[in-house]
Structure 1
Amino acid sequence: MNRTIAVGGLTKSQLLQKLQQHSILMNKYGERLFDDEHFVVSDTVYSVKAVALKVRDLGFSEGATIPQLFKKASQVGLKLCPLELGPHLRLEYVDQPEGHLGKPSWRHRAPYGSLTIASKILSDDVHFPKGFYLRRIDGVLWLRGYIADHLHVLQPDDHFVFCQNNVLI
């Protein structure tokens, strides 16, 4: 998935209202991240080119930690996304396929078909959400938050979204 997404131009309450109007659900971690004072939105509309890659696409055939993944992405010219990309991408990416149909579910791993936004970690607290991920479950679109520590090993087939640029429009 490679998309250019317009980000910004909405207050947090307007963005939340838009998510609700489109019947997009959030888990408690997504709500906590969204409500946090460090999650800021831009008054100015700008464009980001979002690029989805598997962990293995960045050379980690056995998996990687989030710090390892983010460092490697930076070395190849990819950037962390603004946190506000999560809600905006969720509003745009309405054709996300179901990921879990016929697949086992598990704990402490990214769900099948999920798309994690690579963004700056707001808190080292292991109980505070590290970012957003997108899912489609039984036809319902979700904007979810996730928890992981710096030692958690991501699976080689986990999908992350990085940014290639941020351009004011």
Structure 2
Amino acid sequence: MSNGNDNLYPDCLVINRTVEIGGLTKSELIQKLQQYSVLMNESAERLFADDKFSTSDTKYIVQTVELTVRDLGFPDGATMNEIFNRATDLGLALCPLELAPHLRLAYLDQPEGYLGHPLTQHQAPSGSITIASAMLTEDDDFPKGFYLRRIHGLLWLRGYRADHLQHLWNPDDHFIFCQSKEPIT
């Protein structure tokens, strides 16, 4: 299958990160986010408040990869289902939902995403990084997951809503997937 882009994952430029997660309750995570002045929108707060969002008592290491929708072979964009299916075919995995707050705390030097870019509506904001994770519910009115963003110098952990079957993600939208998970010994 040729789509005009010879630099597809795994033969493309990606950002790899190693993140330690687990070992904190949801309330401890929220306190830590507040300690680092990380802001959350209402959707992120709803995700945290939901009983289906749980944290691990055990600490473990997650190896992540950040890449674009284009890197997965979608030069014209793709739906979330298409993105997640392609990533799975390429040996990547969805991230545990609790990765997002831990990654936000580990990635405090995220570049500014707002300056010089037009405001968007019903699209991933410029400079944002969406954490690829399983949805807690199929309810269209409930947030689907988290994304990271720096806006006017402020760090955010934001929740988002998007129809997983119809919303078209842009080719340059960034996602984070898991490459591996290892317990800390």
TM-score scaled to structure 2, two decimals? 0.90
| Pairwise CA distance, 1:50 | 1.2
Rounded to whole Å, the distance in 2 between the matches of 1:74 and 1:67 is 11
1:25 matched to 2:39? The reply is yes
More strand by share: 1
Give the whole-Å Cα distance in 2 for the aligned partners of 1:143 and 1:2.
19
Residue 155 of structure 2 corresponds to residue 141 of structure 1: yes
> Structure 2 CA distance, aligned partners of 1:50 and 1:98?
21
TM-score normalized with structure 1 length = 0.99
Could you give the per-residue CA deviations for residues 108-160 of structure 1, whole angstroms, max 9, x where no partner exists?
A: 00000000000001111111000000000111100000000121000000000
Corresponding residue number in structure 2 for 1:39: 53
Larger Rg: 2
Matched, 1:162 2:177: yes
Instruction: State the 1:100 CA deviation.
Output: 1.5
Q: Which residue of 2 aligns with 1:77?
A: 91
2:141 is aligned, of 124, 127, 131, to 127
Unmatched runs of 5 consecutive residues or more in structure 1: none
| Counterpart residue identity of residue 127, structure 1 | D
Which runs of 5 or more residues in structure 2 are unaligned? 1-14
Q: Distance in 2 between matches of 1:102 and 1:72?
A: 32
C-alpha deviations, 1:17-47, integer Å up to 9, x for none? 0000110000000000011101000000000
Question: What is the aligned length?
Answer: 169
Q: Percent identity?
A: 63
Aligned match for 1:96, one of 80, 97, 110: 110
Q: Which residue matches 1:56?
A: 70
Aligned-partner SS, 1:119: coil
Residue of structure 2 aligned with 1:87, choices 88, 101, 110: 101
> SS of the counterpart of 1:161?
strand
Q: Distance in 2 between matches of 1:167 and 1:139?
A: 33
